[in-house]
Every structure is written in C-alpha cells, then in structure tokens.
Amino acid sequence: MSAGEHDDDQDDLRMLAIIAPDGSPIGEVDVGLDHGGLRELLRLMVFARRLDRECMVLQREGELTVYPPFEGQEAAQIGSAFALSSEDFVFPSFRELAAAVVRGVDPVEYLRYHRGTWHGGPYDPLERRFAPICVPLANQIVHAVGWAMGAKLDGKAACSLAYFGDGSASEGDFHEAANFAAVFGAPAILFCQNNGWAISVPLAEQTAAPIVARAVGYGIPGVRVDGNDVLAVYAATKAAADRARSGAGPTLIEAVTYRIGPHTTSDDPSRYRSENEVAVWRERDPIERYRRYLLAAGIADEAFTRSCEAGAEEWVAGIRAGVTSLPAPAPDELFAFAFARPPERLERQRREAGGIGDA
C-alpha cells in the first residue's frame, strides 16, 4: 500500500494491515472482538468525527480558541485507545480528543481547554487514566515511561501509552523516553501517529529513516501499522499492551495516517501541500473503509450506521450546549492550584488581587 507523497521512500516497508482502503479484508480479521465490539469501533469513529467537525465550527464561531482537528486520524486514536484496559494510563499530546472520548473523558470537560477556561487538565486525569493535554512536543512520552516504571515497581499488570506525532519523534525527549523504557523494561507503548506533516514540514524533511526503524536502536520491538485501518491499529496495540503487561517491556508503534485538516485552526495547509495529496488520503478514509467492511461481513447493517450518525448528532448537540455555557473560572482559581502548600508570599498576592488588602 502506498503511504502517499509524504513518505514515498518508505513504501516498501512492511505494514500491518487488515482492511484494505476499499473495505475488503486483506489480513486476519479476527482480532478478538465480538460483533458488539466491532460495531462499537465504528460508532466511536463516527461520533468522534462528528465532534471534531463541530469543534471546527465552534472555533469559527468564536466559541473555542485555537483547535487542532484530528479528522483522518480516527482509526489511529480509537483503535489504539480501545485496546487498552481501564487500569492502563494514556498520555496524550494535544490532538487526541478521539482517544479521550474512548477513555470516557467528558468532552465538555476536555473542551474547557480549547474554550480557554482552563489549561490542559480540566478533567480528572487520575479518574479516567488520561493525563493532561501536553503541548510541548514529546515531553509526555517521558511521563508515560515514568508512569510505566512506577506501575512495574508496584507489580501492576498495567501499561501506559503515549501519543505523539512524527514531528515529536525529532525531539530529544522521544529518544530519552525510548531509551529509558528499554533500559528499565517499562510497560509502555510509544504510539506515533505519523500523519505526514509536522505543521508544514513533510516527513522526508523531518527524518531520514522510517520512525519504526528506530526501535532497533533501542533494542525494543517496532511495529508499523496502517493507521487508517482501525482493526490493524487495535491488533497492534493489543499485542503491545499484552506484551507490556506480561513484563516483556515497551513497544514502538508507528501508525501511518494523515491529517486531513489543518494543523490547527490557525494553519493554512494550502501553503505547503496539494489538494491532490489530500484527495488521495480521502480515498483511504478510515471510517468509510471500515463501514464497508462491516456491512459486507454482515456485522453491521445500514440501520446501524444510520443510528450511529443520528446518535452522533444528538450527542454533539449536547456537547455544543455544554461548551457554549461553560462558566468562566472563578477569579480566585488563578491562585488556587499552583501549590498544595502555597508560600505565604503568594497568599499575600492572592489577598491583594482579591481586593481584601494585606494587613
């Protein structure tokens, strides 16, 4: 399968794929999910895309600040997050709203970040085992490895998964995280969503070797997977998670996918890539191919796909209502959380800001 203009030189690399872009099965379709689970993957992708598009609209209406859309990457995020257990811990970067939905994070809570009413941890990270949004590139991969080291010390059968992009793989923290994970045998999954572009820089100008090939250098397994094939992503992540939880250590997964939209709502991709390239990737749409597969295999019917779409409309309407009525944080919250035991000096500033005065 061609991976498109952005990584033509990597076409001959082996890539795990189960469902072809036309919906026909090309690999082992039994990934251990029953029909209900298989249908749930489609429902989640349909819901997530509808939410992503609504977020773009909300941003254009001025209801959200800058928003980074994930359209095109639904299979990469949902296939991977769906493979994890409730004991596992996810460390996102900043484009993983679809994964957050799978983890049960309330989208309205999550969108407080994009509404600008709080920073990247507006939900409870410990309850949903979904770390705060991490904007500086690749930092969260190290956190995921630290968490995995801690889980291993506790003797827990749990793993962490860090999401990062192809651009983040150039950061030093990617290297340090991969090396620590390997040295300590940490139960961590380093999950790269290679979407072809780091804002305007194509993969070929980002790195001279395939990202998955780096795994060899750390002494850990590397898996390249069709990131638009939700079953392949699920199977690869499930295998890595089982491996991690069994004590066999970390895995690097490179999910080859594509960002259909701009980097963020502030970006203009027409300045750096062609419509033709986008059109090629639209043909590999992760949702349509999977829908075709489920219909052809008799796992879902048209009524189910229609119910997904109707359900998504209703769900997103509720989210819109919730987001647009999010309250501004109380002024005192500026001071409330920086320290568990705030310095007296900060308490004085808090009183000054509150207009109470400082005796």
Partner 1 sequence: MPEVTMADALNSALRDALATDVRTLVFGEDVGRLGGIFRVTEGLQEEFGRARVFDTPAAEAGIAGICVGLALAGWRPVAEMQFDGFSYPALDQIICHVAKYRMRARGRVEMPIVIRIPSFGGMRGKEHHGESPETYFAHTAGLKVVAPSSPLDAYRLLRASIDDPDPVIFLEPKSRYRATEEGELTTEGPGLGRARVLREGNDCTMIAYGAMVSRCLDAADTLAAEAIRCRVLDLRSLVPLDVDAIAESARATGRVVVVHDAPRTLGMGAEIAATIMEEAFADLKAPVERVTGYDVPYAPASLEHRYLPSVERIGAAVRRIARF
Point out which residues bind partner 1 (CB under 8 A). 89, 91, 118-122, 124-126, 131-132, 134, 136, 139, 142-151, 153-154, 160, 172-173, 176-177, 179-180, 183, 333, 336-341, 343-345, 348
Which is the catalytic residue, given 112, 214, 263, 284? Answer: 263
Kind and range of the H or E element at 172?
helix 172-184
Tokens, residue 274: 């062609």
The span from the CA of 115 to the CA of 255, in Å, is 29
What angle is formed at CA 337 by the lines to CA 336 and CA 341, rounded to 5 degrees? 90
CB of residue 124 vs partner 1: minimum separation in angstroms? 5
Would you say 142 or 294 has its CB closer to partner 1?
A: 142
Closest CA to 261 of 3, 24, 73: 73
Closest CA to 99 of 73, 117, 119, 122: 73
Are the C-beta atoms of residues 301 and 38 closer than 8 Å to each other? no
CB of residue 136 vs partner 1: minimum separation in angstroms? 5
Annotated catalytic residue 272: yes
Are the C-beta atoms of residues 224 and 178 closer than 8 Å to each other? no
Q: Could you say which DSSP state residue 264 is in?
A: S
Would you say 116 or 343 has its CB closer to partner 1?
A: 343
Closest CA to 287 of 52, 93, 84, 56: 52
CB of residue 81 vs partner 1: minimum separation in angstroms? 18
Annotated catalytic residue 259: yes
Within the chain, strands assigned E span 89-91, 160-165, 188-194, 197-198, 201-202, 222-226, 251-256
Would you say 90 or 319 has its CB closer to partner 1?
A: 90
Tokens, residue 24: 């026909």
CA torsion 224-229-233-234 (nearest 10°) is: -150
Would you say 1 or 183 has its CB closer to partner 1?
A: 183
Would you say 134 or 232 has its CB closer to partner 1?
A: 134
CB of residue 132 vs partner 1: minimum separation in angstroms? 5
Are the C-beta atoms of residues 138 and 174 closer than 8 Å to each other? yes
- β-strand pairing of 188-194 with 197-198: unpaired
- β-strand pairing of 201-202 with 197-198: antiparallel
Annotated catalytic residue 6: no
Would you say 35 or 348 has its CB closer to partner 1?
A: 348
Would you say 100 or 177 has its CB closer to partner 1?
A: 177
Closest CA to 71 of 287, 253, 322: 287
CB of residue 164 vs partner 1: minimum separation in angstroms? 13
CB of residue 319 vs partner 1: minimum separation in angstroms? 20
CB of residue 116 vs partner 1: minimum separation in angstroms? 14
> Order of strands across the sheet with 188-194?
89-91, 160-165, 188-194, 251-256, 222-226
Q: Could you say which DSSP state residue 7 is in?
A: G
Write out the catalytic residue numbers.
Answer: 259, 263, 272
